[in-house]
C-alpha cells in the first residue's frame, strides 16, 4: 500500500470527528483564538484543547502567539489541510457585500500594502489597504519586495483605514495590533502575520510575502466565483 494513501486515510480518520472537522473549517479563512473556537463549536475548553492537540499532531493546524498580546494564542490552518476543506461551505460563510476586500495593519507600510497588491494582481478584484495609525511612508523593503516579485503596488503612501473602509467591505487585519485596535466591523477576518518591519531585512519580508500569498489564494478560492469558461476548464 502506498504510504501516501495511508497518510490520507489517517487524516480522514482524524477528521471523522465532527468537532475537529468544524474547527478546521472555522480557521480556514481567518485565525481564531481558542476561546472563540470553543464558543463557535459550543464545547468546553478542555475538550477543545484535546481536539486541537490531535489536529496539531496531524499537521493540520499550527498555534502561534500574538505579537500584540503575548497571553493570546491564535489557531491557524496549515497549508497541507486545504485539500480537506469544503469550499462551498467556506463561500457561504464569508461575506463581502461590496465585492471589495480591504486589508489593514497598524502603519499601512508593509503587510497590508503587499496584501492589497497581491489580491489585485491574482484576482483582479477591487481592494484597498489602510492603517489604524498610518506611518509616514511605505517601508523601503516593501517596495523592494514588490519589485522583486514584479508586483505593482496600489499606493505610494500610507492611508488611514477610516478613509478607505466601507460598511460592505470585507476587512482583513493582517497585524495583531490592528486586530486589537480596529473598530467593530460586520465583515471581518484576521491573519496573524509577524511584522517584517520589526527587522526590516529581506528574509522577514519574503516570509511575510509567502504567508500573505498563501492566505490570499485560499481566500480567493472561497470568495471569487469562477467564470463559466474557468468552470468548463
Q: What percent of the chain has pLDDT over 70?
A: 95
Q: How many CB atoms lie within 10 A of CB 126?
A: 15
State the pTM of this model.
0.92
Q: Are 102 and 127 in contact (CB under 8 A)?
A: yes
Lowest mean pLDDT among 12-16, 81-85, 221-225: 221-225
- Per-residue pLDDT band for 226 (boundaries 50, 70, 90) equals low
Lowest mean pLDDT among 44-58, 91-105, 138-152, 207-221: 91-105
Domains in the chain, start-ordered, CATH in brackets? 3-90 (1.10.10.10), 94-223 (3.40.50.2300)
- H and E: helices and strands count for the chain: 11, 6
Comparing CA positions, the residue from 125, 94, 223, 107 lying closest to residue 174 is 107
- Mean pLDDT score, 67-80: 93
Phi, psi (degrees; rounded to nearest 5) at 34: -55, -35
Q: How far apart are CA 231 and CA 212, in angstroms?
A: 26
Q: Are 212 and 114 in contact (CB under 8 A)?
A: yes
Does the structure show a pLDDT above 70 at 225?
A: no
Does the structure show a pLDDT above 70 at 232?
A: no
- Mean pLDDT score, 155-182: 95
Does the structure show a pLDDT above 70 at 233?
A: no
Amino acid at each position: 500500500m502506498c504510504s501516501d494513501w495511508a497518510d490520507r486515510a489517517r487524516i480522514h480518520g482524524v477528521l471523522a470527528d465532527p468537532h475537529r472537522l468544524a474547527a478546521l473549517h472555522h480557521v480556514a479563512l481567518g485565525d481564531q483564538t481558542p476561546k472563540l473556537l470553543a464558543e463557535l463549536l459550543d464545547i468546553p475548553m478542555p475538550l477543545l484543547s484535546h481536539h486541537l492537540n490531535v489536529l496539531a499532531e496531524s499537521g493540520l493546524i499550527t498555534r502561534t502567539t500574538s505579537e500584540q498580546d503575548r497571553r493570546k494564542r491564535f489557531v491557524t490552518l496549515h497549508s497541507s489541510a486545504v485539500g480537506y476543506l469544503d469550499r462551498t461551505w467556506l463561500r457561504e460563510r464569508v461575506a463581502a457585500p461590496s465585492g471589495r476586500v480591504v486589508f489593514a495593519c497598524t502603519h499601512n507600510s508593509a503587510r497590508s500594502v503587499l496584501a492589497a497588491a497581491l489580491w489585485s494582481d491574482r484576482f483582479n478584484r477591487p481592494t484597498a489597504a489602510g492603517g489604524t495609525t498610518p506611518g509616514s511612508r511605505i517601508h523601503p523593503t516593501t517596495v523592494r519586495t514588490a519589485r522583486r516579485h514584479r508586483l505593482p503596488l496600489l499606493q505610494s503612501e500610507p492611508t488611514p483605514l477610516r478613509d478607505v473602509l466601507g460598511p460592505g467591505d470585507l476587512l482583513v487585519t493582517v497585524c495583531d495590533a490592528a486586530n486589537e485596535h480596529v473598530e467593530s466591523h460586520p465583515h471581518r477576518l484576521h491573519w496573524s502575520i509577524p511584522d517584517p518591519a520589526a527587522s526590516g531585512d529581506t528574509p522577514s519580508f519574503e516570509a511575510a510575502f509567502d504567508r500573505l500569498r498563501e492566505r490570499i489564494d485560499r481566500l480567493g478560492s472561497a470568495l471569487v466565483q469562477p467564470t463559466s469558461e474557468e468552470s468548463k476548464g
